[in-house]
Amino acid sequence: MGSRTPITSILDKDESRLFFDVIFGLFEFVSRKYNIATELWRDNPGKGYNVNKLKQIANEVWSHTDLIDEYIASAKLPCPQREIATGFKSCCQGKYFIERHLKQGSVFISPADNNVYIVRGLVSTFDEMFDDIRLPVLVDAVLLPFCGKIVTDGLMNVYPVIIGKALTSELKNMYMTAKQSQSIRYSL
């Protein structure tokens, strides 16, 4: 009997390290190019980044994905990192309902187009991150392709709203319909 890789709702340590190497390289490039929160890289390289300042940089990146090509050209990335950074241009930025947590990731539903996605956590599961929050929950997030999976940039905003029974039921039906029709998206 061959061993199978277990399905997990987070990236493994090597994947996580690779993701952060690429995204922080991109964020640092944009930060320095546009003089946005450059103190992040000077004052505390590699440790405890200010999330609000990272979000400023991320907003610039996801609003102008052509910056990714500039970064790739200037950074002379090795092939795997270049492919990952290029994939980030396919980001999906918007509001999503997190409807449930599964072994392979959490169910994100886009109210804009009703697409259903399975999204993995970077270093923690969404179940752990939203442990004390009743699902479904509305978040503002950027979904990114990464090594055949979907992840976020790690900089989500959670809306402090209570979702009623009717919408909860509708979201559950959207998930079940996508599951039955095999239209759940596991990659971008």
The secondary structure of 161-177 as a DSSP string is -PPPHHHHHHHHHHHHH
Asked whether the beta carbons of 124 and 130 are under 8 A apart, the reply is no
113, 102: one domain = yes
Residue 188 lies in a domain: no
Report whether pLDDT(63) > 90.
Answer: yes
106, 170: one domain = yes
pLDDT digit string (tens) for 75-105? 989 999 999 999 999 999 999 999 999 999 9
Closest by CA to 100, choosing from 141, 134, 139, is 134
pLDDT grade, residue 5 (50/70/90)? very low
CATH number for 126: 2.40.50
Q: Which of 54, 89, 124 marks a domain boundary?
A: 89
116, 55: one domain = no
46, 115: one domain = no
pLDDT digit string (tens) for 130-170? 888 889 999 999 999 999 999 999 999 999 999 999 999 99
97, 82: one domain = no
Q: Total domain count for the chain? A: 2
pLDDT grade, residue 42 (50/70/90)? low
Residue 169 lies in a domain: yes
Query: Alpha helices, DSSP H only, in the chain?
Result: 13-34, 39-43, 51-63, 66-75, 79-87, 126-129, 165-180
Residue 20 lies in a domain: yes
Closest by CA to 106, choosing from 97, 93, 115, is 97
- pLDDT confidence of residue 1: 43
pLDDT grade, residue 38 (50/70/90)? confident
CA 130 remoteness from chain centre: 15
- pLDDT confidence of residue 16: 95
Residue 32 lies in a domain: yes
Determine if residue 37 is left, alpha or beta; phi over 0 gives left, psi from -120 to 50 gives alpha, anything else beta.
left
175, 96: one domain = yes
98, 174: one domain = yes
Asked whether the beta carbons of 108 and 156 are under 8 A apart, the reply is no
Side chain identity at 107, as an amino acid letter?
A: V
Residue 186 lies in a domain: no
The secondary structure of 36-67 as a DSSP string is SSTHHHHHSTTS---HHHHHHHHHHHHH-THH
- pLDDT confidence of residue 104: 94
105, 77: one domain = no
60, 106: one domain = no
Q: What rounded mean pLDDT belongs to the chain?
A: 91
Report whether pLDDT(3) > 70.
Answer: no
Residue 128 lies in a domain: yes
The residue to which tokens 């050209």 are assigned: 73
Residue 105 lies in a domain: yes
Side chain identity at 136, as an amino acid letter?
A: P
Check residues 175 and 128 and name the one with the higher pLDDT.
Answer: 175
Residue 130, token pair as written in the block? 């939203």
97, 162: one domain = yes
Q: Which of 69, 89, 109 marks a domain boundary?
A: 89
pLDDT grade, residue 44 (50/70/90)? low
Range of 31's domain? 13-89
Residue 167 lies in a domain: yes
- pLDDT confidence of residue 4: 47
Give the H or E element holding residue 117. Answer: strand 116-119
Q: Which of 50, 74, 89 marks a domain boundary?
A: 89
